[in-house]
Amino acid sequence: MLEAALVSTQASFADPILAERFEEKGFVLTDRQIPEDILQAVEEAYYRDRHHYLRDRYISTMELHDADHRLRINALFADVAGEIAKSLFTGYVQYYGGFGIKHPTGDASILSLHQDLTMVPYEAARTGLTIWIPLSDVDYRNGCVQVVPGSHVLNRRPRAPGMEYAFSDIESWICDELLKCVPMRRGQVLVMDQALSHRSGPNNSDRERIAIMGMFRPRETPLVYYLQAQDGDMLDVFEVPDDFYLRQQLGAKPCQGSYCGRIPRVVEPFPAAGFGAGAEQ
Ligand SMILES: O=C(O)CCC(=O)C(=O)O
């Protein structure tokens, strides 16, 4: 049960065209649109609690200590995007909702290339999903998401807080050769496989770039939390409840959950050849 190496990128999209695109690329930019009155309510919620987000040039709700705020923004995301998520893919449960704030600080605001932490284990039959919704039109000038199409099939191995990006030795090559910007309209809905290599670019505009995002697990698969063990290249594995990522400080001992055992920390190398050909959006 603890061995993870399978590549299962299924996500049960209702629309077969979205399903096919998602399977191939590891992300899909949908035509779903959050209505303007709801976007305004989300902005108001952000500005009411903006003081939480002034610490770093890029900061997300998951990094904050205020549990009430985290729970509130999770509920807000469910109100904003729950119905759209249900209409896009079936049998998924939201376990996190939060803001991603990028202050107008140029290159200092870049969120560097990464795969999301592993919260849905890879031995599951269906993959973990992230939905990302910007509150302004976004492109290369103000911090849009940038993806490596097709990279969701690479390194589907457990990632714990503090582990460096699997392909950091060739990160600048990946950025030069494979990274694609995903320009989006305010309120448009992007869905990503949590194993997809992605980052978000610099915000060179004169205002903060606000996004709201949510994370989903297949309903049949409980969440996990991996923690780097102190003695060597091992990870401790915990099964955790659905509100875990609304309360936990990443990298700390788990505040809830049950211990499942210890596994070796494994990172698969970038393929020597054949990746990237035809990786156009
Ligand atoms: O909000 C952003 O700029 C990107 C968010 C992201 O990539 C993440 O949370 O993994």
pLDDT at 55 over 90: no
pLDDT (0 to 100) of residue 6: 47
pLDDT at 16 over 90: yes
Query: Residue 139, Cβ neighbours under 10 Å: how many?
Result: 13
Contact (CB, 8 A) for 221 and 92: no
**pTM higher than 0.85, yes or no?**
yes
**Could you tell which of 198, 209, 212, 215 is best to mutate to test the pocket of ligand 1, judged by most ligand atoms within 8 Å of the CB?**
198
Residue closest via CA to ligand 1's atom 10 equals 116
Please give the average per-residue pLDDT across 3-9, as a whole number.
55
- Work out which ligand 1 atom sits closest to the CA atom of 198: 7
Ligand 1 centroid–CA 194 distance in Å is: 11
Mean pLDDT over the full length of the chain = 94
Which one has a higher pLDDT value, 279 or 156? 156
Phi, psi angle pair for 142, to nearest 5° = -135, 30
pLDDT (0 to 100) of residue 269: 94
What lines the ligand 1 site, CB under 6 Å?
60, 100, 102, 111, 116, 143, 145, 198, 200, 211
The Cα–Cα gap between 265 and 189 comes to 34
72: confidence class by pLDDT, cuts 50, 70, 90: very high
Q: What is the largest distance, in Å, between two alpha-carbon atoms of the chain?
A: 52
**Could you tell which of 111, 197, 205 is best to mutate to test the pocket of ligand 1, judged by most ligand atoms within 8 Å of the CB?**
111
Ligand 1 centroid–CA 163 distance in Å is: 17
The Cα–Cα gap between 252 and 103 comes to 27
pLDDT (0 to 100) of residue 7: 55
pLDDT (0 to 100) of residue 277: 58
Ligand 1 centroid–CA 220 distance in Å is: 26
Residue closest via CA to ligand 1's atom 7 equals 199
Structure tokens at 89: 């893919």
Q: How many CA atoms lie within 13 A of 88 on its CB side?
A: 25
Q: Give tens-digit pLDDT for 21-46.
A: 999 999 999 999 999 999 999 999 99
The Cα–Cα gap between 9 and 12 comes to 10
pLDDT at 194 over 90: yes
pLDDT (0 to 100) of residue 274: 77
Please give the average per-residue pLDDT across 146-157, as a whole number.
97
Structure tokens at 28: 């899909």
The Cα–Cα gap between 196 and 27 comes to 8
Find the range with the poorest average confidence among 4-8, 50-54, 83-87, 164-168: 4-8
Find the range with the poorest average confidence among 30-34, 145-149, 214-218, 228-232: 228-232
1: confidence class by pLDDT, cuts 50, 70, 90: very low
Report the candidate in 18, 8, 16 with the shortest Cα–Cα distance to residue 190: 18
Ligand 1 centroid–CA 110 distance in Å is: 10
